[in-house]
């Protein structure tokens, strides 16, 4: 499977990072989003991040120029149909993802590989809505994509060995490390990570500690680079809640019940850094705990 052209759907935090690393690895990339504004912001973010890599001697100026030249954007989803590989990185809602794949199908070439950057949703179920479940896989990058070295590879029940091998080789070309996960709710990273964040929210909800003390305890007591509540804000509390719901629904175990306080924060629109408020208030110069 020769892969040179890559389509990325969704220009948000994950999508722009995925487009960045593929362009820097000498793939031709088309970044798609329904919003011209989102595409402009993604381009600016990629320009900023690649400039930072040049300053750190991780890229040369010539490599940066070539990477930016290889990256283009579009609001027309069907323009991605000619790509060898397509990576869906839209919001973590299954209905939206299946709608995107449905819109894509008529324009796809017969050999195009479809993947999803979903952090929790069943790959087998997503693949079954397409015409190529053998050429469909989970391709889960970590945030921030240019920095984090891990990519989870998740096979659906029908994924072919050829598709798996092709994506595994791509991970190596990107300079990252692949971890293979079975197609169970939330896969490996989020199966462990998100319940930890949810438990930290329960500790806050039950008054075991306040935001500052919970985060300090895990940073200084467990040597975590971020406290769990700070990390939840970074990921997005709406995303954390969506993953907890997938775990709770998919595994039918009460230990995955989302904390009511997490639900309240999401209902209030306090979803973390991207919203300006979560377990910390980011609207000033220094983040301030909200509890």
Choice among 119, 120, 122, 198 that is catalytic: 119
User: d(Cα 291, Cα 177) in Å, to the nearest integer?
Assistant: 38
152 catalytically annotated: yes
CA-to-CA separations, 113 to 37, 166, 216, 252, 278, in angstroms, rounded = 28, 9, 44, 32, 37
Choice among 152, 181, 198, 230 that is catalytic: 152
The structure tokens listed for 87 are: 């990576």
The structure tokens listed for 177 are: 């490390």
| Maximum C-alpha span of the chain | 56
User: d(Cα 268, Cα 115) in Å, to the nearest integer?
Assistant: 32
Choice among 116, 181, 190, 198 that is catalytic: 190
119 catalytically annotated: yes
User: d(Cα 72, Cα 20) in Å, to the nearest integer?
Assistant: 11
Q: Is the peptide bond before 144 cis (omega within 30 degrees of 0)?
A: yes
66 catalytically annotated: no
Choice among 16, 32, 140, 198 that is catalytic: 140
Burial of 223-239, coded b for 16+ CB within 10 Å and e otherwise, reads eeeebbbbbbbbbbbbb
140 catalytically annotated: yes
DSSP 134: G
Active-site residue set:
119, 140, 152, 190
């Amino acid at each position: 499977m020769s892969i040179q052209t890559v389509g990325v759907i969704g220009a948000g935090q994950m999508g722009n990072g995925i487009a960045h690393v593929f362009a820097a690895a000498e793939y031709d990339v088309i970044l798609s989003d329904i919003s011209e504004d989102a595409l402009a912001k993604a381009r600016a973010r990629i320009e900023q991040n690649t400039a930072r890599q040049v300053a750190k001697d991780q890229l040369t100026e010539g490599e940066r120029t070539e990477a930016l030249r290889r990256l283009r954007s579009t609001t027309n989803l069907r323009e991605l149909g000619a790509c060898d590989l397509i990576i869906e990185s839209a919001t973590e809602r299954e209905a939206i993802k299946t709608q995107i794949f449905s819109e894509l199908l008529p324009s796809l070439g017969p050999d195009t590989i479809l993947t999803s950057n979903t952090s929790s949703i069943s790959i087998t179920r997503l693949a079954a809505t397409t015409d190529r479940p053998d050429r469909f896989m989970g391709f889960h990058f970590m945030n921030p994509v240019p920095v984090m070295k891990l990519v989870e590879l998740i096979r659906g029940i029908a994924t072919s060995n050829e598709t798996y091998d092709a994506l595994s080789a791509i991970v190596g070309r990107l300079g990252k490390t692949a971890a293979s996960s079975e197609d169970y709710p939330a896969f490996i990273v989020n199966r462990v990570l998100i319940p930890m964040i949810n438990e930290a929210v329960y500790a806050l909800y039950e008054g075991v500690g306040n935001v500052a003390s919970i985060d300090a305890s895990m940073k200084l007591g467990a040597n975590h680079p971020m406290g769990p509540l700070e990390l939840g804000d970074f990921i997005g509390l709406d995303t954390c809640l969506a993953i907890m719901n997938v775990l709770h629904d998919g595994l039918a175990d009460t230990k995955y019940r989302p904390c009511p306080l997490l639900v309240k924060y999401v209902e209030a629109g306090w979803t973390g850094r991207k919203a300006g408020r979560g377990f910390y208030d980011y609207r000033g110069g220094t983040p301030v705990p909200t509890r």
